[in-house]
Structure 1
Amino acid sequence: MSTFDEHKTHLMTFGTRIAQIRKSKDIKQQDLADTVGTSKDMISRYERDAISPSIDMAAKIAKALNTSLDSLVFGIDLRNDSRPLTTKLHEIETLPTEDIHHILAVIEAFITKNRLQQILK
């Protein structure tokens, strides 16, 4: 991929990335909708960025497209990144949704704590 193409990928929206990946895999909107348990109209709305899916739906879409959620959100696929934190993030993605929400709450608490410590210095 050329530098121009990489830059263009980063400028794309979440919905545009869904459409691009879906089309590259020759998957029809209806087929994707059936796989993730929604309607063709909702997939169309996501792809047009008319609405944003819930985190749960976004994860289902990523799984159905055999891509990572980070590639849909950021345009960067970190699945082959071997750094320890990235490795743990991949493991977390496989957990039940409720567990993921708890982990995110703990992470947010640590981030807030760190920010407060920085302010108090």
Structure 2
Amino acid sequence: MAIDEKNEAALNRILSFLFKDETKLAEKGNKTILINGTMDLVIQSENDNWTIVDYKTDICFSKDMDRKLRRDYTSQLEGYKILFEEIMREKNIKVDNLLFYSTFNDRVIDIYGKVLI
């Protein structure tokens, strides 16, 4: 999906996650921004809740692995959410859950702090 001036609201939301302080500079610079990534898993539940799961293979022996994943990758998952909702806009789909699955410690972690499994 191309995000261009026709989808300026979506572009601005994405830029706010990617560039934080540089958002205004990127917008004023009239730069083309390429976002490359793959959503590992998108789940639609029976009650029409949508979840995006991102597998993480980071190896970390710290007790704060969950916090490290949230710190390093929350903006990535939030970007996936924005793009997925934009792609599915005509169907009015909203993502309810953003999760990491850590292959290293075999846990599912909500990006907002809950360890689910």
Fold shared, TM-score > 0.5 on shorter chain: no
In proportion to residue count, which structure has more strand? 2
Query: What's the TM-score, normalizing by structure 2?
Result: 0.28
